[in-house]
Amino acid sequence: MVGLTRKRARDLVNNRHKQVGLAVLAIVVLIGVYVLANAKTVNVNIDGGTTTVFTVSKEVGKVLQHSGLGIYPEDVVVPSRETLVSKGITINVTRSSPVSLSIDGKIIKARTPAQNVDEAVNDLSNRFGLGIKSVDEVNQDRTEPVVANMELEVKRSIPIHVVADGKEWDTYLAPRTVAEALTKLSLSLGDMDRVSLPLNQVLEPNDKLQIIRVTEKIETVKNEIPYQVVAQPADFPVGLPDKTLKKGSNGLHEQTVKLTFEDGKEVDRYILNQRVVQAPVNQIVSRGAQTSVSRGGRVIDFKRAYIMRASAYCDPGGMTATGASVRYGVVAVDPRVIPLGSHLYVDGYGDATALDTGGAIKGNKIDLYMESEDAALAWGIRQVIVYVK
């Protein structure tokens, strides 16, 4: 009886195991059928090759997550990770690169999908809120392609104003010494050039950096030495033109000078040597010293004499510019040459007084009053000596 009971128990256990096994098998079959029914073949282009992935995931992101391909969140996926998977879809993955960025005393390590340095710097700036500007300096050329483990360093730039070689411009540089800034700007200095700031001074925002180009030139300069006029007293009236006894000639003076220019403008002239190449020759003239003449048996004293062009007129009852009535001995003059009221002696006419002016009487001209038209016409126009008493 006991043996029978044990046998039934074993049979029951065995039956239960068989039932469980059949259930598990059924589930596995069902899963397999489901998988086979829903599985899709996906091609993934990555690392220069194509990998085929079988998946039941509905979205591209899930496919890659379970693909075992080691996808990073920064990797670029096309189509996007939210795209629904369709049969035969091709997924393109561009690997991001690990880089480090040093800025403001901090080092940030991250991955970036950027293809070149400029894109990488902008990507990290936006993601980490760094506020990097296009004028900030990067230790690599911004067009350089990004490579794995690239070390980037960014230095904040400041505005400066540059004046050099006839040009002015505004630019941005990271703080550095003036000497380093000149190198960065490809501005070289000559031996005599000057800079507006000390070369070892560190630039600050809005500094003005000016280069003064200094050059020197040696020149030979020749100048004329004017001749002097030496007058010898002569026995003819004072005021009459000098008579040349010996013609003068200019001499020649030569200087060797050092000229200093700043930005093309002469700022200094230093005489190195000078000599007289040819001495000037003085001009010798005879100059009138006579202050009295004899006319009609009397001596006439005068202050000076003029050679003048003398005309004559007749206007009975007329009035002069000074309000005096016309009469013989009244003459018209240019007051700029002979003051009105002056007492004169005119050769060929006699004593006269300058009391009138005339529109045509300018310079060394004199108009003599005559008693009649005939006398005026007879006088005509003559060159005379006028003595101013």
pLDDT tens sequence across 146-169: 999 999 999 999 999 999 999 999
Residue 369's DSSP bridge partners are: 313
Assign 209 a pLDDT band (cuts: 50, 70, 90).
Answer: very high
Q: Which CATH class is domain 97-155?
A: alpha beta
Query: What's the pLDDT at 39?
Result: 77
The CATH H-level (homologous superfamily) assignment of domain 216-286 is: Resuscitation-promoting factor rpfb. (2.20.230.10)
The radius of gyration computed from the CA coordinates of the chain, to the nearest angstrom, equals 58
Segments of the chain assigned to CATH 2.40.40.10: 291-388
Sign for the CA dihedral angle at 153, 155, 156, 157 comes to negative
3-state secondary structure of 4: helix
Residue 8 banded pLDDT, cuts 50, 70, 90:
low
Please report, as a single letter, which amino acid is at residue 138: V
Sign of the four-CA dihedral 367, 368, 369, 371: negative
230 forms bridges with which residues in the sheet?
284
Helices (H), ranges, the chain: 2-38, 60-65, 117-128, 178-184, 373-379
**291 class by beta-carbon count within 10 Å (0-12 exposed, 13-18 middle, 19+ buried):** middle
pLDDT above 70 (res 300): yes
Q: Span 356-370, mean pLDDT? A: 96
Average pLDDT for 202-220: 96
> CA distances (Å), 237 to each of 209, 290, 389, in order?
72, 4, 12
Tell me, what's the pLDDT at 87?
79
pLDDT of residue 29: 45
109-147 tens-digit pLDDT: 999 999 999 999 999 999 999 999 999 999 999 999 999
Give span(s): CATH 2.20.230.10, the chain: 216-286
Give Cβ neighbours of residue 215 (< 8 Å, ≥ 6 apart): 190, 192, 260, 261
Do the Cβ atoms of 184 and 173 come closer than 8 Å? yes
The CA distance from 361 to 65, in Å, is 117
**Of residues 8 and 343, which shows the higher confidence score?**
343
CATH of span 158-212: 3.10.20.90
CATH number for the region 291-388 comes to 2.40.40.10
Q: Where in the chain is the domain with CATH 3.10.20.90?
A: 97-155, 158-212
Is 86 a residue whose pLDDT tops 90? no
Q: Report pLDDT digits (tens) over 9-35.
A: 566 556 666 665 555 554 544 444 444
CA 211 to chain centre: 12
| Measured CA distances, 262 to 190, 211, 213, 219, 330 (Å) | 12, 10, 6, 17, 68
State what percent of residues in the chain have pLDDT above 70.
90
CATH 3.30.70 fits 40-94, yes or no: no
Which helix (DSSP H) or strand (DSSP E) does residue 124 occupy?
Answer: helix 117-128
Measured CA to CA, the distance from residue 313 to residue 349 in angstroms comes to 13
Determine the length of the chain: 389
150 versus 3: the higher-pLDDT residue is 150
Please tell me whether the peptide bond between 79 and the residue prior to it is cis, using omega within 30 degrees of 0. Answer: yes
